[in-house]
Amino acid sequence: MLRAWPPRIRRFQRCGLVLRYFVVSVVCLLTSLCACSAQTAPPVSTSGMEKPTAGSSVIPAGQAQPAASQRLEFIPDQLTLPGDASALVLPATTVDGVLKVPENVQHVGWWDGSAWAGEPFGSTVIAGHIDSATAGTGFFARLLKIKVGDTVTVRADSHRLKYRVTSVRKVAKKALATDGQAFKQTGPHRLVLVTCTGNYHRDRGGYDSNLVVVAKPQGLAR
């Protein structure tokens, strides 16, 4: 999930090499055993002792190292709203144009085509239920009370990035797709929280508007 590079690369390579020789040795040992027991062991060729690589005086190439200044970018798995209210964030996919948020109304969904927290451009989109006919009020009912200036935090493992709310808007459902902030992957990085609001139409089983909360990152992801 994290973009940080594993520092294990050299060790893996060395392990792989050792393992390869070990496996080859074991295979050959078995072959040799069979050959000996049949009293047909061929004379040992000393040329076989040569290493497959060139002279030992050649020094190994360097391995590209991640810069100490490498920025952290991560897929959020937890969201905390004002009042220390936290929810699990699960990946959410678009199916037939509709973002499929988690069924559990206490969880929220990160659109899997949106930015990772800490990317330099584009919105990180997290959507969740305000309510459901079967499960009652959802986690994102809390967005009805969120204000400009509030702090929202996303986390993954030990990493986190804080955002400050800069706008809270009601957008007609049909206008959401073309909204300048909501889903765009260009422009300065931001966190976009989406739920439903407006008039509830019992006959249609849904609201006529979306609530769009935009927040700007405060510092770097850690």
**124 binds other proteins, rule: CB under 8 A:** no
Q: Which of 77-85, 154-162, 180-188 is the region at the interface with other proteins (rule: CB under 8 A)?
A: 180-188
- Interface residue with other proteins among 19, 144, 172, 222 (CB under 8 A) is 144
Three-class SS state of 107: coil
Smallest separation (angstroms) from other proteins to the CB of 80? 19
Let me know: does 154 contact 79? Beta carbons within 8 Å.
yes
Choosing from 81, 87, 89, 101, the residue that interacts with other proteins (CB under 8 A) is: 101
Amino acid identity, residue 136? Answer: G
Q: Is 145 in the site for other proteins (CB under 8 A)?
A: yes
Report the SS3 class of residue 101. coil
For CA atoms 171, 174, 176, 180, give the dihedral sign: negative
SS3 86: strand
Q: Does 98 help bind other proteins (rule: CB under 8 A)?
A: yes
Residues 3-62 that bind other proteins (CB under 8 A): 3, 5, 9, 12-13, 16-17, 20-21, 24-29, 31-32, 44-50, 52-54, 58-62
Helix (H, G, I), strand (E, B) or coil at 152: strand
Q: Which is nearer to other proteins, 80 or 141 (CB)?
A: 141
| Under rule CB under 8 A, residue 140 binds other proteins | yes
Decide: 209 and 199 in contact? Cβ < 8 Å.
yes
- What is the phi/psi pair of residue 121, to 5°? -135, 155
Residue choice 19, 85, 132, 218 for contact with other proteins (CB under 8 A):
132
- Say how many residues make up the chain: 222
Determine, following the binding rule CB under 8 A, whether residue 69 of this chain makes contact with other proteins: yes
